Amino acid sequence: MNLEIKCSNMSELEINIRWIMSIIFAILAFSTPYWFFIFFTIALAYQNMIKNCFFYSTFGINNDLRQKNRYIEALPKFNPEPIVIIDSKANIIFKNEPGKNIFSNIDTFKFLNDKELLNKLIKNSETYQVEHHFTKEKYYTFMLKGVKNLDAILVYGTDITKVVQANEDIINIQKEVVYTMGAIGETRSKETGNHVKRVAIYSEILALKYGLPKEEAELLKLASPMHDIGKVGIKDEILNKPGKLSDDEFKVMKTHSTLGFNMLKNSDKPILKAASIVAHQHHEKWDGSGYPKKIAGENIHIFGRITALADVFDALASDRVYKKAWELERILEFFKDQRGKHFDPKLVDLFFENFDEINKIRLKYQD
């Protein structure tokens, strides 16, 4: 349904003056012999009613005012939010008063750079919504409404800064909780908080090199510190035994992956859902000989495959209650040998290709 646009080419002052003149002409028509004044009265009154002067229209007078009034008539009345009108190239051609205050120094919405979309909105009088970080301090959501009669687009701006900041606060709290819980799990086994920090950064590096989107790499970085959260359910005498575990003790130790998964699996939060995958699968092996499910190859979630490599590298390179740190040469030989066995071969290749970057993290966050 097309929006009907009125197009007055007279100012409010002109309209008021014409009403006064029409009243004067009416008085003259009825109080003097000059009855023809009634035609001036009717002409002025009619043009005021339709807010359009025939003389102005004929000779192109007040075209700018007419265009401005077209825009004003297109806008919702008494709207406190900023509204602007843009053309098909995203140039701003009109602003309401709030729009003038907020977007005073802006002539073009450069973030609306899809010209095909803008033309489509105008042609079909369609709507479209976009969220934009407009300044360093402000977030806006913009509702675009194509108006075919105007050959332009109404852009309704709504300040959502407080909503965005509240969501960011919630996410930051989740991050802190996840990291703290991961650190608690490691502390119980007398490992340092730097272990989970290193594993998190190694995981992010490998995820990006593997080709995962930045958002997924960031999610894995946040989730990977929880890989050993299930250790909170393992007895201290097993968890911190200085020597080799017996077969029965190792069976108990292996349950930490399932314990961690069960702690996190029912959450609908992206970070905790990812953490449940990491906790469950970071001891699975590429050849299917891992635990707890003995799944193999790409059936192991990429988050599990990446965290497995990152965790083993950091474990081998660090002192533990049951062993001393390995020398780097021995670690690298181990990874070459375990390519396609314990670890995803592609990830092992990426590990070696980016070893300098990974090793810098190890040295930066040493225990």
Q: pLDDT at residue 325 above 60?
A: yes
Q: Mean pLDDT score of the chain, rounded to an integer? A: 83
The count of structural domains within the chain is 3
| Of 184, 209, 227, the residue nearest 314 (C-alpha) | 227
Out of 159, 174, 197, pick the residue that ends a domain. 159
- DSSP three-state, residue 94: strand
In terms of average pLDDT, the best of 11-15, 150-154, 276-280 is: 276-280
Can you give the CATH number for the domain in which 135 is found? 3.30.450.20
Amino acid residing at 188: R
List, for residues 167-194, the tens digit of each pLDDT value.
777 777 777 777 666 666 665 554 555 8
Q: Are 283 and 322 in contact (CB under 8 A)?
A: no
Q: What are the distances in angstroms from CA 83 to CA 141, 150, 159?
A: 12, 15, 12
50-64, 256-270, 327-341: least confidently modelled range: 50-64
Question: Which structural domain, as residue segments, surrounds residue 142?
Answer: 75-159
Of 43-47, 57-61, 252-256, 316-320, least confident by mean pLDDT is: 57-61
Residues 299 and 285 sit within 8 Å (Cβ to Cβ): no
- Read off the pLDDT of residues 61-102 as tens digits, 9 standing for 90 and up: 655 655 565 666 656 655 556 778 888 898 988 888 788 888
**Tokens 């009907």, residue located:** 4
Instruction: Please tell me the distance from the alpha carbon of residue 307 to that of residue 292, in angstroms, as a whole number.
Output: 15
Q: Note whether residue 3 is domain-resident.
A: no
In a shared domain, residues 187 and 56: no
**Residue 217 belongs to domain with CATH number:** 1.10.3210.10
Question: Looking at residue 2, what is its pLDDT?
Answer: 39
For the cut 50, the answer to whether the pLDDT of residue 5 exceeds it is no
In angstroms, how far apart are the furthest CA atoms of the chain?
124
Residue with more model confidence, 225 or 217: 217
* Same domain assignment for residues 259 and 320: yes
Q: Are residues 275 and 174 in the same domain?
A: yes
Ordered strands of the 140-147 beta sheet: 92-95, 83-86, 152-159, 140-147, 127-132
175/121 same-domain check: no
C-alpha 77/C-alpha 73 separation (Å) is 8
How many angstroms separate the CA atoms of 297 and 302, rounded?
10
Helix axes 302-316, 214-223, angle to 10 degrees: 50
Structural domain contains residue 207:
yes
Choose, from 145, 221, 231, 285, the residue flagged as catalytic: 231
- Residue 231 bears catalytic tag: yes
Residue at 142 is within a domain = yes
Distance CA 75, CA 82 (A): 11
Q: 81 with 41, same domain? A: no
113 with 258, same domain: the answer is: no
Q: For the residues 118-133, what does the mean pLDDT come to? A: 86
Q: Point out the domain boundary residue: 69, 84, 100.
A: 69
Q: Are residues 44 and 85 in the same domain?
A: no
Q: Which of 144, 159, 174 is the last residue of a domain?
A: 159
The per-residue b/e assignment along 227-245, b for 16 or more CB within 10 angstroms, e otherwise, is bbbbbbbbeeebbeeeeee
Same domain, 137 and 168: no
Confirm whether 329 is domain-assigned: yes
Q: Which range in 10-19, 63-72, 319-328 is most confidently predicted, on average pLDDT?
A: 319-328
What's the pLDDT at 183? 65
- Residue 314 inside a domain? The answer is yes
DSSP string covering 255-322, please? THHHHHHHHHTT--SHHHHHHHHHHHHTT--TTS--SSS---GGGS-HHHHHHHHHHHHHHHTS-BTT
Measured from the Cβ of residue 316, the count of other Cβ atoms closer than 10 Å reads 18
The reported pLDDT for the residue numbered 71 is 60
CA 272 to chain centre: 19
